[in-house]
Amino acid sequence: MEVTSLAKAGDRCVGVKTSEDETLSGPTRRATAGCWTFAVEGGRALRAHAPVRGQMVALRHAGKLIRRVLRSERGYIVPRDHATPQKLVAGSTLENAGYEKAVTSGGLEQILARRE
Ligand SMILES: Cc1cc2nc3c(=O)[nH]c(=O)nc-3n(C[C@H](O)[C@H](O)[C@H](O)COP(=O)(O)OP(=O)(O)OC[C@H]3O[C@@H](n4cnc5c(N)ncnc54)[C@H](O)[C@@H]3O)c2cc1C
């Protein structure tokens, strides 16, 4: 079910209208559509964040097990399991790429170049 627009009483937002032609309301209302809040009719008036693309790289690690998230100014590495080889993800880029979700060779290169 998709929220299509804000339900209003005068200037006040009292709920939302949905793709199933329902109006939902409640005692409190909060915008939770993230950067897509702008796409909801009436949502431009709400405070929302802009989209940011963060690419990550999945790796297999055959060395000593990594048991916690490692962070430095070069980025971070997150262990995804405790197997050998171990699944890791390394990140990330932080790009103003609009709503583009594609992974790029430039993004992967940027992350992998941080290992030195
Ligand atoms: C690279 C990167 C790394 C990050 N790392 C961290 C981290 O380690 N820790 C952390 O706390 N935060 C992290 N963040 C930030 C975090 O991802 C965001 O702050 C968080 O996802 C925002 O949550 P949200 O619920 O506001 O929006 P979102 O997670 O974007 O959720 C919005 C939801 O609304 C749904 N939606 C959109 N439009 C509609 C509609 N019309 N009707 C119904 N549903 C709709 C969407 O499908 C989505 O499920 C990171 C961000 C980036 C880019």
> Chunked in runs of 10, what are the mean pLDDT values of the chain (116 residues)?
93 93 92 90 83 96 96 96 97 96 97 85
Same domain? For 107 and 61 the reply is: yes
Q: Which of 4, 20, 29, 36 to mutate to test the pocket of ligand 1 (most atoms within 8 A of CB)?
A: 36
**For residue 57, how far is its CA from the centre of ligand 1 (angstroms)?**
19
Would residue 106 count as lying in a domain?
yes
Same domain? For 100 and 78 the reply is: yes
What is the structure's pLDDT at 6?
93
**For residue 61, how far is its CA from the centre of ligand 1 (angstroms)?**
28
Query: 10 lies in which domain range?
Result: 3-45
Distances (CA, A) of 34 to 5, 24, 51, 115: 15, 19, 8, 32
Coil vs helix vs strand at 16: strand
Same domain? For 74 and 37 the reply is: no
Would residue 23 count as lying in a domain?
yes
Spell out where 64-113 has E strands. 70-72, 75-79, 86-91
Same domain? For 38 and 70 the reply is: no
